[in-house]
Amino acid sequence: MSTFSAHPNEINKVKVLVVGDSGVGKTSLVHLLVNGEVLTKSSWTIGCSVEVKIHEYREGSPGHRPYFVELWDIGGNNSHKSTRHLFYTSVHGIILVHDLANRKSQQNLRQWLVEVLLKEKSNPGSRDALVDNFDAEQFGALAKVYRANKIPVLVVGTRLDDLAETRPTASLPRTSPAFSASSLADACSADELSVSCLDVRSVAPGSGNAVKLSRFFDRVIDGQIHCNGRPGPLYSGQPNYGLKMRYP
């Protein structure tokens, strides 16, 4: 039996979480990736917002076909911490976002990844305590489990345009190598890229960042196919989620 739908109006899809501290530019990043343009007016994300990018899977190969990549922009406000796990089901990939000029947001990436990994913990209070108190040694062990699950991770640093103008803030602790974005990327076998969400050239076709993004989305789809033995659920014009989703 064929693993792909032959219906012209049906396209397979995958789900990618976009997580990181509030204010790091997740919504602007998602808008740039989906629309290829700068978001001129942004607002705080409450709960979750979903936009959909069409990705040309394995372009130029016999397996080439379009895929819908659902980018789930998760609100980073701590007031919603106990309910965010509701969005962490059936995930095929994760984009961890931090502000290059904000070392604290970089340090917090490990908590975000752990929060996703502990999504099945039934008691919210217990889950939150585990996330907050995870140390480097525990995270290293958990990262091995995460790699074994073959869910791809991409680490993105935003506000590259502000980096040169920002000086280190004395009130922030010095970044430990164990908690740096690069070490996190290494632990998860993830690509890492830096972008300016105010510059469309950051992800322009043919750029190094665009190549990394395409490779990441291909890995997400590969993992979904290998895990289930078939492509993801089909989109045939009606999203099957109780969320406002923006399809092309």
pLDDT per position as a tens digit, 120-142: 544 445 445 544 555 555 556 56
**Residue-level pLDDT at 236:** 38
Specify the DSSP element, H or E, that contains 184.
helix 181-187
User: Whose CA is closest to 20, among 10, 8, 28?
Assistant: 28
Q: What confidence score (pLDDT) does residue 243 get?
A: 54
Question: Residue ranges of the domains in the chain?
Answer: 12-246
Q: What is the pLDDT of residue 138?
A: 59
Q: Specify the pLDDT at position 201.
A: 95
Cα-based distances in Å from 233 to 7, 14, 69, 239: 13, 8, 11, 10
Beta strand ranges found along the chain (DSSP E): 11-19, 48-57, 65-74, 93-99, 153-158, 191-194, 234-235, 245-246
CATH H-level, domain 12-246: superfamily: P-loop containing nucleotide triphosphate hydrolases (3.40.50.300)
> What pLDDT is stored for residue 200 in this prediction?
95
Q: What is the pLDDT of residue 118?
A: 75
The tens-digit pLDDT sequence of the chain (248 residues) is 333 444 545 779 999 999 999 999 999 999 999 999 999 887 888 889 999 999 999 998 998 999 999 999 999 988 778 888 889 999 999 999 999 999 999 989 988 988 887 775 444 454 455 445 555 555 565 666 565 567 899 999 999 987 756 555 433 344 444 457 888 888 778 899 999 999 999 999 999 999 999 999 999 999 888 876 555 554 434 343 435 566 66
